[in-house]
Amino acid sequence: MSPRLALILTVICLSIINGVHTTDWSGMAKTTLKSALKIKPNNRIAKNVIIFIGDGMGLSTINAARIYKGQKLGNTGEETILEYETFPNVALSKVYGSDSQVPESAQTATALLCGEKTNFNVVGLKDSVGASNCSAYIRLGQEAEVKSIIRHAIEQGKSTGIVTTTRVTHATPAATYAHSPHRDWESDADINATLNGDCMDIAQQLINSNHDIQVVLGGGRRAFLPVTEPDPKSNLRGVNLRLDGRNLVQRWELLQQGKNKKYKYVWRKQDFDAVDPNDTDYLLGLFSPSHMQYELERDTSGDGEPSLTEMTDKAIKILSRNKKGFVLMVEGGRIDHAHHDTTAKKALVDAVQFEEAVKMAVTLTNKDDTLVVVTADHSHPFSLTGYTNRGNPILGLVDPESFELQPTLDDLPYTSLLYANGPGYTTPRQNLTGIRTDANNYMQQSAVPLDSETHSGEDVGIYAMGPMSHLFHGVHEQHYVAHVIQYAACIGEYANECDKDARMSISAAPTYSFSYVILTVCLLFSYS
């Protein structure tokens, strides 16, 4: 190998591995163009599908998370590239609901996972059923229900899984299996409180009707256990919610025993870590009475909780044993909760952990037969503002140069990350001089006072790679996502209408991106 070639490869490798900033903008663009010219549509059938949903992870959150990650690595931040930002196909999703301009997560999840828009607070049902209208659902029955990609996959013999950092009965995961006129009917106590006892609670739907979902990991065990029993971790009574006396965890275990399958129920990290994915058919993990912890505060001890990345890793390893493939939904659910509290640092740390989970999934799967889709259900009124300099701390104040360029009318500094509404409002506006705006629980300033910050209605991103990912190509209605997934995997409505014969005959010869080739050369060079 010539010294000149060695030098070139060394520079490229260091740039890729260390994220070294370069001012060769033209060269950067040409490299990207060369890579883009090599992209070819993958028309194969998707054996596997993984959909990642960053709850509340709008474009401004992705932008801020990108900078935050880069700055934690010692760089200016703006040049950072997140894993899913390298995916070849990118589109936008219109997130409005059947009855709402700005949506909530049950109706957006129903669109993303079931292929139909619906009403505010309704999950897994058509828009013929209004929120809280149990009688309408009972009257219409199955006619009002919409199947999710998880159910369609099971009907085709695929393995399925749900991974989330929220309660597994929360809005987004519930859309994979439940049909409920209200997202809040997570336990029988919730339904009894609203005098709608004829409708089955969401936790009971998961266990009674959807125990064939092989991996379910997240929080929310209080909806599965009787109020009279103590929580297994705290040993306190009154934590659990069920009033009907049912222990749904025991019910799940009995159902798996009846199938003669190898199963595990876990509620803490050390037991989760001990699960052998090669010797486990069904895994139920409920790691908290309610939502799991923010990544920034997560207890990593044996009595604590696994990360989103660790749960994704375990789920894929269990599900990938099925020769017919799998469909997995992974939600970074607490990004949304941090935004509602206007605690931007927590949102960004969870968003970076979400990206790590995507990276893990890409590592464990083959892009030739696995469709990976990364999207959000909605965004937040969260923005990066001020004429800040390159490398300005993303959790800091707008820098003095910007402040001098356009001073505030009250002569007070402000954070570069702001919310349009939420609990971060104060009057008069707080003087942030000397305040640690990068503290874990710091609430960014808000323009309008609210107890909880709201969602926003702008379009969100769709990032995709793998079979048929080129079908994401412009601005789409949100429910289009579920239809692409079904078509790509030849399941659901497209099980017999996906041009299966022609797609099965396509050569399985692998294709490699430019960046993959460069990384391979780097590795070879390092051993030469």
Is 105 part of the annotated catalytic residue set? Answer: yes
Residue 378, annotated ligand binder?
yes
- Which position among 98, 105, 187, 446 bears the catalytic label? 105
Return d(Cα 344, Cα 348) in angstroms, integer. 6
Cis before 428 (ω within 30): yes
- Exposed / middle / buried, residue 343 (Cβ in 10 Å: 0-12, 13-18, 19+): buried
Residue 377, annotated ligand binder?
yes
Q: How confident is the model at residue 7 (pLDDT cuts 50, 70, 90)?
A: very low
Phi, psi of 14 (to 5 degrees): -65, -35
Contact 28, 22 (CB under 8 A): yes
Residue 179, annotated ligand binder?
no
Q: Which residues of 169-188 are buried (b: 16+ CB within 10 A; e: fewer)?
A: bbbbbbbbbbbbbbbbbbbb
336 Cβ partners below 8 Å, 6+ apart? 55, 56, 57, 105, 380
Residue 336, annotated ligand binder?
yes
Answer whether residue 22 shows pLDDT above 70: no
Token pair of 359 as six digits: 């990276």
Angle at 22 between CA 21 and CA 26, to 5 degrees: 145
Residue 455, annotated ligand binder?
yes
Tell me what pLDDT residue 521 has: 46
DSSP one-letter string for 454-519: --B-S-EEEEEESTTGGG--SEEETTHHHHHHHHHHT-GGGTTSS-HHHHHTS-------HHHHHH
Return d(Cα 460, Cα 378) in angstroms, integer. 6
pLDDT, tens digit (0-9, with 9 covering 90-100), for 330-363: 999 999 999 999 999 999 999 999 999 999 999 9
Answer whether residue 460 shows pLDDT above 50: yes
Answer whether residue 311 shows pLDDT above 80: yes
Phi, psi of 111 (to 5 degrees): -65, -50
Residue 182, annotated ligand binder?
no
DSSP one-letter string for 504-521: HTS-------HHHHHHHH
**What is the mean pLDDT of the segment spanning 406-431?**
95
pTM of this structure: 0.92
Contact 51, 41 (CB under 8 A): no
Per DSSP, the chain holds a count of helices (H) and strands (E) of: 18, 13
pLDDT, tens digit (0-9, with 9 covering 90-100), for 465-504: 999 999 999 999 999 999 999 999 999 999 999 998 999 8
Task: State how far the alpha carbon of 504 is from the alpha carbons of 386, 434, 467, 471, in Å.
Answer: 52, 63, 12, 18
**What is the mean pLDDT of the segment spanning 325-329?**
99
Return d(Cα 388, Cα 270) in angstroms, integer. 45
Residue 24, annotated ligand binder?
no
Answer whether residue 156 shows pLDDT above 70: yes
Helix orientation angle between 344-364 and 59-72, rounded to the nearest 10 degrees: 80
Contact 145, 179 (CB under 8 A): yes
